[in-house]
Amino acid sequence: MKVLVVGAGGREHALSWRISQSPIVKEVYVAPGNGGTELENLLTNVEIQADDIEGLASFALENEIDLTVVGPEDPLVNGITDRFNELSLKCFGPSKGAAQLEGSKEFMKDFLKRHNIPTAEYSTFDSTKKAIEYVEEKGCPIVIKADGLAAGKGVTIAHTIEEAKEAINQSLETKVFGEAGNRIVIEEFLDGEEASFIVMTDGAVVIPFASSQDHKALEDNDKGPNTGGMGAYSPAPIVDDYIHEKIMEEIIHPTLKGLRKDGYKYCGFLYAGMMIDKSGQLKVLEFNCRFGDPETQPIMMRLKSDIADLCNQACEDRLSEQTLEWDQRKALGVVMASKGYPYEYEKGKNITNIPQERSDLKVFHAGTKIESGTLQSNGGRVLCITSLGSSVESAQNKAYDALSEIEWDDSFYRKDIGYRAVAREKK
Ligand code: AMP
Ligand code: GLY
């Protein structure tokens, strides 16, 4: 098979790397890819941006691509799968309609409510006055979310009424998220531990991946603003067999059933972000219509089953019930970011001394590029140093040891990725 992977991040490096190891795959193209995918012998970067749906479709037609796997949400929400299917091209990822689960918080919340799937209590607003009245009535902490896609920055957890008002104003009046913030969802603050649960489905059959957990906050101890994710590990010890079953029964199956009932065909990865409270009750925080970043990196490090074959089967509506094969070790990835991320940061800094790939270590690239033969930073999240170990602690030690070898001025990373899981291991 000839495969095209769409996207430029760490997730796409990890996905395309695994796909390229499949015995049924001959060639793998990554559009546009990054410095890391450029350095891989089995991958070829193609200079087409992930949001250029027509450009990607022309490339797939001209190069007789057998399967396209879409990494990021934007092209999915904008209908890449619908367009590819019109051209009889196989594309793994949900249709535009189904991708609204991620593309619109209002759609997602109304969907959950309609199908009795547990989630935080909420209300939707486009009026600043009404939104402020609601916040004053409910009190703090409270959570303000831009309705549309805001690159992971559209959520504010307000601890004071002033902060809540500021977030409402920023979205509805100042329009810091553009059109994505024309409407907001305001919801109840949930306490507990977060976990990510990712499955793949052809709309009928569903196969769960190993559990994972990411650290969204910028700073150690989960402090500071939210980011796309500063590190992740798999499995997440909080998702034991009991919670796994509960997630499948209370969230995943009802969601897929609800989608079918509402007339949406969902073929692709489905990512549920959940809060699990002390008594083990689950509530959905978000859905993503794609794999997580950086969760993909530790998960692909552990996956032994043939992901290319599975995606292809799903596109042909012949996914069969099966248990995926996993490396039983734990995997953990630490993100190295440009200083200043998630706000302003500089690009174009030289990066050297990246450790060689080993069976238990892989440095996935996200925001990197090769400039005159030199590896340089080219984004906010830049590298994800991912390793396998017999325990989360051992994977953590290996990842940080490898990270300490990397030479790159102006980098930044969290020093405590996996701390909850390590504490659980020690209990
Ligand atoms: P979302 O994009 O909706 O998942 O929100 C991003 C992050 O904000 C989540 O991963 C949580 O860490 C946090 N968050 C979102 N909604 C809530 C909530 N209702 N209660 C507490 N934290 C939340
Ligand atoms: N790491 C969170 C996400 O991919 O949305």
| Tens-digit pLDDT profile for residues 102-122 | 999 999 999 999 999 999 999
Q: Which residues contact 154 (CB under 8 A, 6 or more apart)?
A: 145, 146, 148, 171, 177, 180, 181
Instruction: Supply the pTM of this predicted model.
Output: 0.94
Which pLDDT score is estimated for 195? Answer: 85
User: What average pLDDT does the segment 118-139 reach?
Assistant: 92
Which pLDDT score is estimated for 180? Answer: 87
User: What average pLDDT does the segment 128-139 reach?
Assistant: 92
Mean of the per-residue pLDDT values of the chain: 95
Which pLDDT score is estimated for 365? Answer: 98
Binning pLDDT at 50, 70 and 90, where does residue 98 land? very high
**Ligand 2 centre distance from Cα of residue 213 (Å):** 10
**Ligand 1 centre distance from Cα of residue 277 (Å):** 14
Q: Residue for token digits 């340089």?
A: 376
Which pLDDT score is estimated for 31? Answer: 98
Nearest to 230 by CA among 12, 421, 416: 416
Which amino acid type is present at position 224?
A: G
Q: What Rg value do the Cα atoms of the chain yield, rounded?
A: 21
**Ligand 1 centre distance from Cα of residue 231 (Å):** 16
Binning pLDDT at 50, 70 and 90, where does residue 315 land? very high
373-391 pLDDT, tens per residue?
999 999 999 999 999 999 9
Structure tokens at 125: 């607003």
Q: Which of 70, 214, 414 to mutate to test the pocket of ligand 2 (most atoms within 8 A of CB)?
A: 214
User: What average pLDDT does the segment 347-361 reach?
Assistant: 96
CA distance 208 to 253: 11
**Ligand 2 centre distance from Cα of residue 332 (Å):** 15
Residue 152 predicted with pLDDT over 80: no
Q: Which of 105, 219, 286, 290 to mutate to test the pocket of ligand 1 (most atoms within 8 A of CB)?
A: 286
204-224 pLDDT, tens per residue?
999 999 999 999 999 999 999
Q: Whose CA is nearest to atom 16 of ligand 1?
A: 285
CA distance 228 to 292: 9
